[in-house]
Structure 1
Amino acid sequence: MKLAANLSLLYPGLPLAQRMAAAARDGFAGVEILFPYDLEPHELAAMLRDHGLQLVLINTPPGQPGEKGLASLPGREVDFNHALQRALQVCEATQCGMIHAMAGVPAADVAPGACRATLIDNLRQGAVLASRAGVSLTLEALNRADVPGYFYNRPDQVADIIAAVGHDAVRLQFDLYHTQREALDMDAALDSVLPLVRHVQFASPAGRHEPDPTVPAVARALRTLARHGYTGWVGCEYIPAGDTSAGLAWREAYQAVLDADDTP
């Protein structure tokens, strides 16, 4: 399993090009960028090439200021389609293979059933476009403390939507941080969705700082993923407690956890 630096959070205070340079120096081969829409796609692609980095994940544009995505919002279907098209343009230029399709926070007076139907319809149409481009759409449960009202907060809810969409281009983004913040049983949460996992992220639930792979629940989850053949990216989506590079010592523990797996 390969580690990808989330450049929207790591190396804070630096321009994007300098963040890329720092990530490359620190040994990362892949990066995530939440909303890479300040640059033209071809400019972003050139910057990634200059630093020898692979862009592995982006998010769909979230909508208007304060919005957290559009896919589940009735009446915003055209806006979601435009957002997805914009993300696909970035993927085409950069060879990024995954887009987190953000569901959003529906208004309190909108029926959940209408939001679910809108989400499923948007994803079915979006999956066709994404699959033609060789891109996967990922769905991620976001915890209620950080993102109140987000359409789903548990991985099993995401799995239900994926089953209803019924397209191989729509898969699950499993974030250990959000799972821990929801105080879910990590083993049970992961076991219920394991075949659907396309991307993984982690951070410490305390302050969303550097992950601690030695925490038993985290170590078990990482080993479970490895045993079941997950060879994809693990996104380092955390807020550094101090200097990013100095804080990367946790990577030794991460590798030790995987090396200690007792799989025959």
Structure 2
Amino acid sequence: MKLAANLSLLYPGLPLAQRMAAAARDGFAGAEILFPYDLAPRELATMLRDHRLELVLVNTPVGSAGEKGLACLPGREDDFSHALQRALQVCEATECRMIHVMAGVPPAGAVPSACRATLISNLRKAAKRAQQAGVTLTLEALNRTDLPGYFYYRPDQVADIINTVGHDAVGLQFDLYHTQREGLDLGTTLDDVLPLVRHVQFANPQGRHEPDPASPAVAGALRKLANHGYAGWVGCEYIPKGDTSANLVWRHAYHAILDNQDTP
């Protein structure tokens, strides 16, 4: 399991190109960029090549009216289709193979069943387009404290949507931080959704700062993923307490855990 630097949060205060340079110097081979839509896709691709970084994840655009995503919003199907197309264009230029589809926050008075039907319909159409492009779509449960009202906040809710969509191009983005913020047990929650996991992220549940891989819950989840055969990326989506580079010492514990992944 390889670590990817989330360049939307790490190395704050630096322009994107300098964040890329810093991540490369710090030994990261992959990068997440949540909303890379201020740059032309080809320009972004050139920057990534220059710094020898692989773009491993982007989010769909969230919507021009301040939405937190569009995929579950009835009446906004065309807007979601356009947002997906922008993300696919980034993937085509950069060879990124993962898009987190932002479901959104249903507006006041929205009927939950209508939002669910809209999301499933949008995902079935989007999955065909993604598969043709060699891209996997992911859905992520976001905790209610950080993103109140988001369409789902538990991984099992996301798993239900994925299973209903029933397409190989749609999988689960499992974020240890959001799971712990909801007070859920990492081990049992992961057990329930493990076959669906396509991407992983983590941060410390206290303040969303540097992760603590040595904590028993996190260490157990990482071993569970590795022993199950997950060999994808683990996104470092956290807010640095101070200097990002100076505080990467937690990676020693991360690698030590994976080097002994068969240890119970």
Q: TM tier, shorter chain?
A: over 0.9
The CA distance in 2 between the partners of 1:65 and 1:82, in whole Å, is 14
Contact 2:227–2:262 under 8 Å retained in 1: no
Residue 232 (structure 1) aligns with: 232
The CA distance in 2 between the partners of 1:3 and 1:202, in whole Å, is 10
Give the Å deviation of 1:192. Answer: 0.5
Per-residue CA deviations over 1:74-127 (Å, capped at 9, x if unaligned) read 000000000000000000000000000000000130110000000000000000
Tell me whether 1:127 sits opposite 2:95 in the alignment: no
Give the Å deviation of 1:65. Answer: 4.6
Residue 211 (structure 2) aligns with: 211
* TM alignment of 1:97-246, pairs within 5 A: 97-246=97-246
Contact 1:30–1:56 under 8 Å retained in 2: yes
Per-residue CA deviations over 1:39-68 (Å, capped at 9, x if unaligned) read 000000000000000000000000025311
The CA distance in 2 between the partners of 1:191 and 1:23, in whole Å, is 32
The CA distance in 2 between the partners of 1:19 and 1:197, in whole Å, is 28
Letter in 1 for 2:51: H
Letter in 2 for 1:49: R
Q: Percent identity?
A: 78
The CA distance in 2 between the partners of 1:52 and 1:185, in whole Å, is 37
What is the root-mean-square deviation in Å for CA atoms of aligned residues? Answer: 0.9
The CA distance in 1 between the partners of 2:65 and 2:25, in whole Å, is 34
Unaligned runs of 5+ in 2: none
The CA distance in 2 between the partners of 1:134 and 1:233, in whole Å, is 17
Contact 1:227–1:263 under 8 Å retained in 2: no
Per-residue CA deviations over 1:150-171 (Å, capped at 9, x if unaligned) read 0000000000000110100000
SS at match of 1:173: strand
Structure 1 residue ranges (4+ consecutive) displaced by more than 6 angstroms after TM superposition: none
SS at match of 2:58: strand
The CA distance in 2 between the partners of 1:108 and 1:191, in whole Å, is 34
Contact 1:68–1:105 under 8 Å retained in 2: yes
The CA distance in 2 between the partners of 1:168 and 1:40, in whole Å, is 29
Tell me whether 1:91 sits opposite 2:91 in the alignment: yes
SS at match of 1:221: helix
Tell me whether 1:78 sits opposite 2:78 in the alignment: yes
Aligned residues: 264
Residue 250 (structure 1) aligns with: 250
Give the Å deviation of 1:260. Answer: 2.4
Residue 260 (structure 2) aligns with: 260
The CA distance in 1 between the partners of 2:35 and 2:194, in whole Å, is 27
The CA distance in 2 between the partners of 1:87 and 1:248, in whole Å, is 30
Letter in 2 for 1:46: T
SS at match of 2:128: helix
The CA distance in 2 between the partners of 1:16 and 1:259, in whole Å, is 32
Residue 2 (structure 1) aligns with: 2
Contact 1:173–1:199 under 8 Å retained in 2: yes
The CA distance in 2 between the partners of 1:67 and 1:134, in whole Å, is 27
Residue 35 (structure 1) aligns with: 35
Unaligned runs of 5+ in 1: none
SS at match of 1:220: helix
Give the Å deviation of 1:263. Answer: 5.7
Give the Å deviation of 1:257. Answer: 1.2
Contact 1:55–1:95 under 8 Å retained in 2: yes
Contact 1:45–1:93 under 8 Å retained in 2: yes
SS at match of 2:247: helix
